[in-house]
Amino acid sequence: MTQIVAGLPPPNSLSDTTGSNLYCIPRAIASGDTAASLIANGHALPLLGNDLAFAAVELIIRENGTAKRVAASVTAFDPWRHVLPSHAKERLATLLDAMSRARQPFAGFTSGKQAIMGVINVTPDSFSDGGDHATTEKAVQHAITLAEAGADILDVGGESTRPGAQRVDADTEQQRVVPVIAALAQRGLLVSIDTRNASTMSAAVSAGAKIINDVTALSSDPNAVKVAVEHEADVILMHMQGEPQNMQQSPNYDDTVADVFDYLSNRVESCLKSGIKIESICIDPGIGFGKTDRHNIEIINSLAAFHGIGCALMFGASRKSFIGRLADEKDPKARGAGSIAAALAAAAQGVGILRVHDVADTRQALQIWQYQAGNAEIT
């Protein structure tokens, strides 16, 4: 694990080529009136507008093939960054500008409220609920139940991407998901299609889906970006190292957060060049997709860093196997408490969309957390 050193290096110790290899992780995040007061008094920098603020930073500095981390208060960091070599100064200015901006609504949701995405697996082999909702009727009813429990988005998938899962042909996938999506869209519900196949994306959006959620960040199918642009769909770009069949076979990173950041940043840039607007893009660091338990925790601890990419952020850890290993719980359906703990850690760092199985419990936990965080008033 990378060692974190307190204190900032001398500005002249950073070469002018370090710019693109600097990463900023907001720490000591505050919310509500506390955030506003810290910003006003110069003790913190804004995060996603003025609703959140961070009073400390952790920097990842990658030079000569190695990564080191340094931590400092904002009061020490802010004057230091202004006297860095030009490329490093510009890099941090870009990251901080992206972090500070209030987000444009993604799929109708702003960063001031956590949206809950409910999972509907129309599959026989998903890791948590495979077979539970494998027919159109069962899947539609489950989706309606999730919506009534507080799901803002319903994510419908017809192919399992659990570790070791085999690919499903597009025709089978579409037979599973399209009737479900059509039925839900006719009821006025906001639907996302969870797929990596461009033909399924097109069929799903034509049936009423508004969001394309792709575990390969629109990179697996050469027609995926084209479909998203033509349909003007919102997209969720996820990071995955490898493929579901092999992604858990010794995943490795030079620096987990920096490597995932770079991948997602590059995918966002590619989508922007293709004509997808920044407000139509959401990123997902991909918990459990080509990552060890340590990698997963490193990402969860540093989710706020991904605001530096400048778009909406989603987090999905619900019932995943790392929770089972860390909490010694083999039954995925009994991992609700651990899933909620991870979701609240994400919410505290400004993550806007939480992808979960247990919608009602997550919604209740979020409601109490909003009061505790000072983001809701007790009447």
pLDDT one-digit tens code per residue, 167-177: 889 999 999 99
The per-residue DSSP string of 39-108 comes to HHTTSSEEETTTTEEEEEEEEEEEETTEEEEEEEEHHHHHHHHTTS-HHHHHHHHHHHHHHHSPPPPBTT
Sign of CA dihedral 56, 49, 147, 125: negative
pLDDT in tens, 21-50: 999 999 999 999 999 999 999 999 999 997
* Residues classed as catalytic: 320, 355
Tokens describing residue 370? 């909003």
Tell me what the pLDDT averaged over the chain comes to.
Answer: 92
Identify the CATH class of 115-372. alpha beta
Give the count of beta carbons closer than 10 Å to the beta carbon of residue 246: 13
pLDDT at 104: 87
pLDDT at 12: 86
pLDDT at 246: 76
Residue 3 has pLDDT above 70, yes or no: no
Delimit the domains of the chain by residue range: 4-100, 115-372
∠ CA 187-188-191, nearest 5°, is 100
Decide the pairing of beta strands 45-47 and 52-63: antiparallel
Residue 74 has pLDDT above 60, yes or no: yes
With bands split at pLDDT 50, 70 and 90, how would you rate the model's confidence at 135?
A: confident
With bands split at pLDDT 50, 70 and 90, how would you rate the model's confidence at 20?
A: confident
pLDDT at 110: 59
* H or E stretch covering 234: strand 234-238
With bands split at pLDDT 50, 70 and 90, how would you rate the model's confidence at 126?
A: low
For the question of whether the overall pTM of this predicted structure is more than 0.75, the answer is: yes
Report the pLDDT averaged over residues 144-161: 94
Residue 162 has pLDDT above 80, yes or no: no
**For the purposes of burial, counting CB atoms within 10 Å of the CB of 169, is it exposed (0-12), middle (13-18) or buried (19 or more)?**
exposed
CB 19 within 8 A of CB 63: no
With bands split at pLDDT 50, 70 and 90, how would you rate the model's confidence at 225?
A: very high
pLDDT at 245: 72
Report the pLDDT averaged over residues 257-271: 97
pLDDT at 138: 92
∠ CA 49-51-56, nearest 5°, is 85
Residue 2 has pLDDT above 70, yes or no: no
pLDDT at 5: 75
Least confident residue range of 58-67, 115-124, 218-227, 264-273: 58-67
pLDDT in tens, 289-326: 999 999 999 999 999 999 999 999 999 999 999 999 99
